């Protein structure tokens, strides 16, 4: 896979190889998944600093910690740890992709074929404020607003 040298993204989710300019592959996505899982389970990202430079330094050098004050399963911690390996060559998912991750004990009991084949739930159309239909034609905006009068 060809490496890229682009630098975009939310700083707390940026993989080490992007910060160092070493070039990167899709392994950066597995790093971001690790950050997302950590944030979902602990309520904050693991490497956030007071400044952008401190955040980047933390990403490059700070050991990941799993606070005992939050009860998180061992498989979850192990998955996050493997996703946040600084060396992309050793990061979980780097070689086998999603199949390697889906086989991790954290996901035991998940029927991936069912997940993939399940239609997402229908979502209500967004409710509009004073700027009803901004960017919509007048008729479309009125129709959208009228569809939600039964909600109140």
pLDDT score at 148: 45
- Of 8-12, 31-35, 121-125, the poorest mean pLDDT is in 8-12
C-alpha to C-alpha distance for 141 and 147, rounded to whole angstroms:
10
pLDDT band for 126, please (50, 70, 90 cuts). confident
Q: Is residue 138's pLDDT more than 80? A: no
pLDDT tens digits for 22-76? 888 889 999 999 999 999 999 999 999 999 999 999 999 999 999 999 999 999 9
pLDDT score at 42: 97
Q: Is residue 6's pLDDT more than 80? A: no
More confident residue, 106 or 2: 106
pLDDT score at 56: 96
Architecture per CATH, domain 11-113, reads as Orthogonal Bundle (1.10)
Q: Where in the chain is the domain with CATH 1.10.510.10?
A: 11-113
More confident residue, 128 or 112: 112
* Cβ 122 vs Cβ 56: under 8 Å: no
Q: Is residue 150's pLDDT more than 50? A: no
Calculate mean pLDDT across residues 117-146: 67
């Amino acid at each position: 896979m060809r490496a890229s040298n682009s630098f975009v993204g939310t700083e707390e989710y940026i993989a080490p190889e992007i910060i160092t300019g070493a070039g990167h592959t899709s392994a950066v996505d597995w790093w971001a998944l690790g950050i997302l899982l950590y944030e979902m389970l602990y309520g904050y990202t693991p490497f956030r600093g007071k400044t952008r430079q401190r955040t980047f330094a933390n990403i490059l050098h700070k050991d990941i910690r799993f606070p005992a004050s939050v009860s998180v399963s061992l498989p979850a911690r192990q998955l996050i740890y493997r996703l946040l390996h600084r060396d992309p060559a050793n990061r979980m998912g780097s070689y086998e992709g999603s199949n390697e991750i889906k086989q991790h004990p954290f996901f035991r009991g998940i029927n991936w074929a069912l997940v993939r084949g399940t239609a997402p739930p229908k979502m209500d159309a967004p409710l509009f404020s004073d700027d009803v239909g901004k960017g919509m034609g007048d008729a479309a905006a009125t129709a959208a607003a009228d569809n939600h009068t039964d909600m109140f």
